[in-house]
């Protein structure tokens, strides 16, 4: 039974956003949260509440459209950029269909962009519905949340005793930004139904910044228990991903989580995944440190500490397992030149 009254820490990150105030105090709070839970709430995050409310209203409008109108934006039409709509049950977690539908977005790039011209997966133009204001709201939210991601990475660097620009200089000058809008229908009230809005998992990248509506349903693993990450008005939820786990040698562990819509109405969530640049190789901060591999305790029984190539290849492999029927849409992309940003 998930803990009904357990709360994750709330951190005022205003000093990081404004670069004024007690930065070291925020860094200490982040260090505590990352070592104890891997999840925390963000207040003072700087994303206008009116923007979030507008995005939520427009998203409800989209998901009430006839299915044929939504399918006109299907991800199969997005090519290697993998942008657009997917239907209920199309996305898999641990091989099982999630009980959600959604829209995939990312940094908006023109066809003339070198990465798009080379056919890099996960790069390109977005597909937007013909709903007035939708495109503007999505791109505005991505811009705000990306700036927040950069500020949070400075705080995480400070929390590890590093220079504030450590991650920016090595991994996130040009981060891979993946933004999702998820719509979860209400599920049967009985927990033994076997249905999950999203099954247990950890996130691939560095940070996830999540806006959720008032419905709730996000659960975070804490030892052998599950904690309800209930919505707190005016806050966002942040969690660390597998690549930060790798960089810190397990000091900051990515934490398993899942979603089950407990309400009688549908649920919306808006995660932005702030990931390393597509063409960088993620390395441990201290290559000489001894790492206690926790693969046996992870949800997928795999290690995040094995050396690998560039992050883009890693994440493409992961996403291909989430959408196996679309994997053929991912083209082999040209290897970029080594420009000194490879971790």
| 339 in any annotated domain | no
Rounded alpha-carbon distances, angstroms, from residue 24 to 39, 152, 153, 282, 286: 19, 13, 13, 26, 22
Instruction: Tell me what the pLDDT averaged over the chain comes to.
Output: 89
d(CA 166, CA 276): 13
The reported pLDDT for the residue numbered 297 is: 66
Give the mean pLDDT of 245-270.
Answer: 91
The yes-or-no verdict on residue 163 having pLDDT over 90 is yes
Identify the helix (H) or strand (E) that includes residue 116: helix 114-117
Confidence of residue 1 (pLDDT cuts 50, 70, 90): very low
Residue ranges making up the domain that contains 281: 10-329
| 206 in any annotated domain | yes
The reported pLDDT for the residue numbered 22 is: 97
DSSP 8-state secondary structure symbol assigned to residue 325: G
| 3 in any annotated domain | no
- Higher model confidence: residue 96 or residue 140? 140
| CATH number of the domain encompassing residue 248 | 2.60.120.330
| Burial grade of 18 (CB within 10 A; 0-12, 13-18, 19 or more) | exposed
CB 333 within 8 A of CB 84: no
Domain count, the chain: 1
The reported pLDDT for the residue numbered 342 is: 32
- Reported as a single tens digit per residue, the pLDDT across 17-36 is 999 999 999 999 999 999 99
Q: What is the dihedral of CA 68, 321, 142, 113, to 10 degrees?
A: -90
- Reported as a single tens digit per residue, the pLDDT across 209-255 is 999 999 999 999 988 899 999 999 999 999 999 999 999 999 999 99
The reported pLDDT for the residue numbered 319 is: 84
The yes-or-no verdict on residue 333 having pLDDT over 50 is no
Give the mean pLDDT of 173-192.
Answer: 87
- Higher model confidence: residue 122 or residue 293? 122
| 340 in any annotated domain | no
The reported pLDDT for the residue numbered 309 is: 85
How many of the other CB atoms lie within 10 Å of CB of 306?
9
| 94 in any annotated domain | yes
| 202 in any annotated domain | yes
The yes-or-no verdict on residue 336 having pLDDT over 90 is no
Kindly state the tokens that stand for 154.
């400075």
Rounded alpha-carbon distances, angstroms, from residue 200 to 2, 57, 112, 115: 14, 28, 39, 33
Confidence of residue 331 (pLDDT cuts 50, 70, 90): very low
């Amino acid at each position: 039974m998930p803990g009904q009254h357990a709360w994750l820490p709330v951190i005022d990150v205003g000093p990081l956003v404004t670069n004024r105030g007690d930065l070291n105090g925020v860094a200490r709070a982040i260090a505590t949260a990352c070592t104890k839970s891997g999840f925390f709430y963000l207040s003072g995050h700087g994303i206008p509440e009116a923007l979030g409310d507008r995005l939520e209203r427009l998203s409800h409008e989209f998901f009430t459209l006839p299915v044929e109108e939504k399918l006109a934006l299907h991800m199969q039409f997005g090519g290697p950029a993998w942008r657009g709509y997917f239907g209920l049950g199309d996305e898999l977690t641990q091989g099982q269909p999630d009980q959600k539908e959604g829209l995939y977005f990312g940094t908006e790039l023109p066809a003339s962009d070198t990465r798009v011209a080379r056919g890099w997966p996960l790069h390109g133009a977005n597909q937007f519905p013909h709903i007035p204001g939708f495109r503007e709201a999505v791109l505005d939210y991505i811009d705000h949340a990306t700036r927040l991601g950069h500020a949070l990475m400075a705080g995480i660097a400070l929390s590890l005793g590093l220079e504030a620009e450590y991650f920016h200089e090595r991994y996130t000058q040009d981060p891979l930004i993946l933004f999702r809008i998820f719509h979860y229908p209400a599920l049967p009230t009985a927990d033994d139904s076997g249905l999950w809005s999203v099954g247990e998992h950890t996130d691939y990248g560095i940070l996830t910044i999540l806006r959720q509506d008032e419905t709730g349903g996000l659960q975070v693993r804490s030892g052998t228990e599950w904690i309800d990450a209930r919505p707190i008005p005016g806050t966002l939820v942040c969690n660390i991903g597998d690549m930060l786990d790798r960089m810190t040698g397990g000091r900051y562990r990515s934490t398993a989580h899942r979603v089950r819509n407990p309400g009688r109405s549908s649920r919306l969530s808006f995660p932005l995944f702030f990931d390393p640049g597509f063409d960088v190789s993620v390395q441990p901060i201290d290559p000489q440190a001894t790492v206690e591999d926790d693969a046996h305790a992870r949800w997928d029984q795999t290690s995040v500490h094995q050396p690998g190539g560039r992050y883009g290849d890693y994440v493409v492999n992961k996403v291909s397992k989430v959408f196996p029927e679309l994997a053929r849409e991912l083209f082999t992309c040209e290897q970029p030149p080594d420009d000194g940003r490879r971790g």
